[in-house]
Amino acid sequence: MVGRVAFAVPGDLDTPTGGYAYDRRMIAELEHLGWQVDVVDLGDGFPRLSAEQRMTAREKLMVVPGECPIVIDGLAFGVLPETAARLRVRHPVIALVHHPLALESHLGVAEADAFRASERAALAAVAHVVVTSDATARLLTADYDVPADRITVARPGNDPVPAARSSSDGIVRLLAVGSVVPRKGFDVLVAALATLTDLPWRLTIAGDGTRDPAAAARLDGDIASHKLGNRIAALGAVPDERIAQLYAECDVFALASRFEGYGMALADAIAHGLPVVTTTAGAIPETVPAGAGVLVAPDDAGALALALRRLIEDPDERRRLATAARAAAAKLPTWRDSARLFSRAIEAVT
């Protein structure tokens, strides 16, 4: 059974982040399955809204035709509890939670508590919740009182891609992909690499630097203070074609995330058969299969440096992890697989 569904997103659907990439692809796949998807742009400012922005978002949701199911991206949904309570009277509401708002890094205690309370209240009004990992499902059940039978896990999908080519000039090329925000831990990654200047490596960082100007300025400052400008290239947001090329040309994927609700960039690295060095934060241990990467505690630059040294120095170890990654890539879900799960979640509430 398919029909019409509204899919509400906070601002520009083309925003270059993993969450928006998931939304874009899921909308396209739902349409392929036969759904008529009405994309609702809720406006900018999320999750820190002005009164005017909050009113605009509410008005856009309230004019969705009655009985039409509404999927609302969690970046917006978590700060609209009053609107969620009003919508549930006329609509089946589905929250899409990439990761809880309160777990964004470097929030003050008061702001994190406010986000947690707001999101908990909003989630109490939903007919169903879609999450991108089992870890996030467990988190919502334990900390946000969402019944497990009201949650569907629809992991991000992966397209078939060629295996990465190892470099042959003696320089180990590292890649990190992610928006430049505190949660991605670029400060930890740069600090770790600053202790490895005796080794032949280069790091490329690809990710939007406009979402958090303070984090972007800190990244530039850290690179400069450690005198790594000739070794680390921070490219900012780049097109998908360039991202694919970067994966194909690197030897090791490295990301020092403080939390991930899934970690699409990590799964992309696995799909390309790349060894991964990252952390144990959030859903990462489920996203990066055993044997395909080295995981350390978040915010531990020393442990991260040791893991990176191990892979930079030892090509046999890189090949071993790459072999495991290629084997794991064959088991990754496709976007069509994930869309079918998402579709069933919508059907269940209609």
- pLDDT tens for 145-190 read 999 999 999 999 999 999 999 888 999 999 999 999 999 999 999 9
* DSSP run (H or E) holding 284: helix 284-287
d(CA 90, CA 62): 9
CA dihedral 314, 162, 332, 312 (to 10 degrees): 10
**Strands 70-73, 93-97: parallel, antiparallel or unpaired by DSSP?**
parallel
Q: Which residue has the tokens 């960082």?
A: 205
Residue with tokens 């964004």: 104
What are the pLDDT digits (tens) for 294-347? 999 999 999 999 999 999 999 999 999 999 999 999 999 999 999 999 999 999
> Is residue 252's pLDDT more than 80?
yes
Alpha-carbon torsion (227, 269, 96, 64), positive or negative: positive
| In the predicted structure, residue 2 carries a pLDDT above the cut 90 | no
User: What domains sit in the chain, N to C, each tagged with a CATH number?
Assistant: 4-157+333-349 (3.40.50.2000), 172-329 (3.40.50.2000)
Percent of the chain exceeding pLDDT 90 equals 96
Task: Answer whether residue 28 shows pLDDT above 80.
Answer: yes
The model carries a pTM of 0.94
Spell out where the chain has E strands.
4-9, 36-41, 70-73, 93-97, 128-131, 151-153, 172-177, 201-206, 232-236, 252-254, 276-279, 293-296
Residues in the chain: 350
Residue whose entry in the numeric block shows the structure tokens 């009405």: 38
